[in-house]
A and B are shown apart, each in its own frame.
Chain A
Amino acid sequence: MLIRFTCNGRPVQIEADPQTRVLDLLRDELGLTGTKEGCGRGECGACTILLDGVAVNSCLLLAGKIEGREIVTIEGIAGEDGALHPIQEAFLDVGAVQCGFCTPGMIMSTKALLDEKPAPEVEEVEEALSGNLCRCTGYGKIVEAALEASRRLVQESDQGGESG
């Protein structure tokens, strides 16, 4: 069937079996390989994307379900000039990236959280990222990155508010 949706701000129309996993649709049909497959069962979070702003495992999401909806992947969060998103910058600055395989999913879950709750408590960060596994970092720096990104985004929007 023809599936129409928005991906990273652009309209997409694609002929696909509605039973196709969105993970495969993104990686194989759209070439968006930044979204990773770690387990294929919704247990690791490496394939996390945003569906209408909510973090979901794209390995459990079927193409038939995204008709008319909005998807954002790791490739879609940098600024238009290619500048990294403040969450991406924060992950780099605090050392929250080691092998990097879980990182796109971690960043997407963080984005879903901060879009919803700009200044979360530590427990809220833990809750939001509890579906994303990482075997390298021990998570401490990932929590730190999420909180640092929150501070930067809040500061940015405060400054934006003043100038506007």
Chain B
Amino acid sequence: MNVIGKAVRKVDGPNLVSGRAKFSGDYRFPRMAYGAVKRAGVPAGRITSVDVEPAREMPGVLDVLTAKDIPGPNIIGVLPPFDQPLLAADEIRYAGESVVLVIAESAEIARRAANAVSVSIEPYEPILTVEEALAPNARKIHESGNVTCSRKLIKGEVEPAFARADVIVEGTYETSFQEHAYLEPETVCAVPGHRTTLYASCQSPFHIRGHVAANMNVPASSVRVVQANTGGSFGGKDDVATEIGALACIAAQRLDRPVMIAHERKESIVGSNLRHASRIRIKTGATNDGRIVARKIDVMLDGGAYASESPFVTMKTMIHAAGPYKIDNVEVKSTAVYTNKTYCGAFRGFGVPQVTFASESQIDELADKLKIDRLEIRRINGLRAGDANATGQVYEESVGLQETIKRIAEQPARPEQADSDRYLYGTGYACVIQGISNGAEGVDVIGASVQMSQDGSVLVGIGLTELGQGSRTVWAQIAAEVLGVNMESVSVRLVDTDAVHDSGPTVASRSTTVGGMAVLKAATEVKASLLSMAALMMQTEAENIELRDGFAVLKMDDSARIPTPQVATAAYWTGFPLMNLAFSKAPDANFDEETHQGTIYIAYNYGTHRMDLRVDTLTGDVEVLNHVAAHDVGKVINPLGLEGQVEGASLIGYGYAHMERIRYADGIIQNANFADYAIPSIKDRIPTVSIPVEDPNPTGPYGAKGVGEPPVAAAAAVFANAIADALDVRFTKLPITREDILDAIKRGNYD
């Protein structure tokens, strides 16, 4: 292949390195106004009065909106139950909740005016923990109660299997909230007109269009959403982009002026979704030969004030909680609960990091109890092609877990260190499984268009978004490969709901796999048209011709060739179609609602990580000496992009495991800035080496499957296991910070 599998530059890269790429905040329109909101500031209560007059009276203030000014239902959400207001009308459910929107001539005036608004709130005793939410007489945060959703997975029978087990390990593990911390805070810009146009930093423009239109009380066709260059999302720019997108559009139509709403960093942390905190109980039974015979798992997720993605995160944690292992008896219950805290939703990994940390910690504990090598126990139990996974689904192909374990096992041992009286050294292993495609979370259809101009250049359109992950480059590579042109000839449209087909949300590591298939199909149709034309021109059959290097080439004599632009021009004048819109539909999930047994995802990514680290017993400092991440990706499309995904996701996992903790006090986030909520800096980076394993996936283009999410979970879990190995103390809560480590060392007399 000429382009697939080759390291290529990002197709949208030149604009990004030169400052020419327009992000939402870079748009400027004549008479543009700016919006800012007044937030509740208390975690729970009932609004008794709102005095907007102080804001209205300020020079430069153009409009002030409260809940009653929302033309539509004043409700958004990613999934049923849609339960989140744009502006709170009555009840306050979290401190970051928006109550009043102020529009002014400048962002600064809007902010000052929003601060001048006086909102009187009769406070309720906030419900701040899962236990409080589930207490028998707890106040109901929503009418439906405090359980957002609860699901069960049942495979086999766990209790008899536990009775047969030689050893049983049990434990409870906890994880903290995590903030996305993309560098670009959420920003939108609405331009009014007969149809409203919204330029948005966002992840799923078609979803936003629907919710914006509903809240404006107009048909979806009256709203056009254009995805601006988006400065990172990681799952975080769905709900909040809908919220501020709808507010900006409503305000723009009222004023008949463009309106920009740009979050400050603090708002980006307190007023947009986080990763769910969790408490996970696991019981694992095994026989003396290391075979796991049963796992029983109870996952409790703190979802904060609104449902957001909780229903699907619940499902995903449940499906992945038992890990990438062949276990005949599995029972998982997963429950998401409302609390009076910032709502939780999608974040790269989508529930899998939480359960993987818990599961992989316990696999190590089991190995130690059985006195079996920690990597060996993973090999013994790890899924192979033909095995039934936790939902009973059997994949006959593309189950590359064992190969990732093998590649990790081949890594050289950690060198012996001479300075070990001050330093403790540890090595950890962790495996991960992560479903690709919407799977159980919904129908999965993607529409992609490919067109060739008479000059031989190619334009790809698809309704999935580039968020930095390099998907546009992958789609361009697929089109270039099929049509035999170089990468420079291929462009990929911005996502404009007027110009590309609805392709569902950009989630679930589905862009390469399901999106790539749609591009492949559309490009193949255009290729057929070009081959037919070339066959007429060469007076032969289409099957005797191939497209490569910018030419239609006769296979048997490659000196007989016609430049592709000439073929395209002839096809145009002959009326042969040079554009195709193709759809890729993943097979529907098919499972039992009570047990979740059945077919769920079109493929899984499997991975194994190893981490070697050194702990300074005087300071608690951790230095990661070696981190190897082997993932079965089916087929590498762009090695540069793959490495970038694995390295970047791994550092998010490392931050999650070691550095990042949202600190609440009385329901208010205390560290809503980058000084106090420290994400890894360049000095905190880890030396991740990516080892791709290629076990071809029949449902992906050229055998590929997604890899954007799984390294987060594996990197977090492997850090915990490496620390446990170094200290001989197992932490059961993430993050495991430097202070936690130092405390443990002090308690343990390590000198």
Contact = CB atoms under 8 A, between A and B. Distances in A.
A132 B232 CA distance: 15
User: Which of under 10, 10 to 19, 20 to 34, or 35 or more describes the interface residues of B?
Assistant: 35 or more
6 contacts: A36-B184, A98-B469, A136-B644, A140-B647, A140-B688, A141-B647
B183 A34 contact: no
Nearest to B234: A135
Contact of A84 (B14, B25, B184, B674): B14
Nearest to B265: A39
A68 interface: no
A8 B264 CA distance: 28
A138 B685 contact: yes
Nearest to A73: B19
Contacts of B469: 98
A44 B26 CA distance: 18
Interface residues of A, number: 52
Interface stretch (A50-58, A100-108, A156-164): A100-108
A104 to B, nearest CB: 5
A53 to B, nearest CB: 19
A103 B674 contact: no
Given A136-B232, A142-B682, A33 B183 contact: no
Nearest to A91: B17
B18 A99 contact: no
Interface in B263-292: 264-265
Interface of B: 7, 9-10, 12-23, 25-26, 28, 180-185, 229-234, 264-265, 467-470, 640-641, 643-644, 647-652, 673-675, 679-683, 685-688
B180 A138 contact: no
Contact of A99 (B184, B681, B682): B184
B487 to A, nearest CB: 12
Contact of A138 (B182, B470, B647): B647
B105 to A, nearest CB: 12
B18 A138 contact: no
Interface in A10-46: 27-28, 31-41, 43-44, 46
Contacts of A92: 9-10, 13-14, 17
Given A34-B20, A107-B17, A133 B10 contact: no
Given A44-B674, A97-B10, 9 more contacts: A27-B26, A28-B28, A37-B185, A44-B183, A92-B17, A98-B469, A107-B17, A133-B181, A140-B687
A135 B652 CA distance: 7
A28 B10 CA distance: 29
A93 B9 contact: yes
B234 A100 contact: no
Contact of B182 (A40, A101, A103, A132): A101
A74 B16 contact: no
Contacts of B651: 138-139
A78 B14 CA distance: 11
Contacts of B181: 133, 135
A43 B648 contact: no
B231 A132 contact: no
B244 to A, nearest CB: 16
A130 to B, nearest CB: 5
Given A35-B19, A41-B673, A137 B647 contact: yes
B265 A100 contact: no
Given A36-B183, A41-B265, A88-B17, A98 B470 contact: yes
Which of B10, B26, B681 has the most CB atoms of chain A within a 10 A radius of its CB? B681
Nearest to B13: A92
A126 B643 contact: no
B232 A141 contact: no
A102 B10 contact: no
Nearest to B469: A98
B182 A99 contact: yes
A101 B682 contact: no
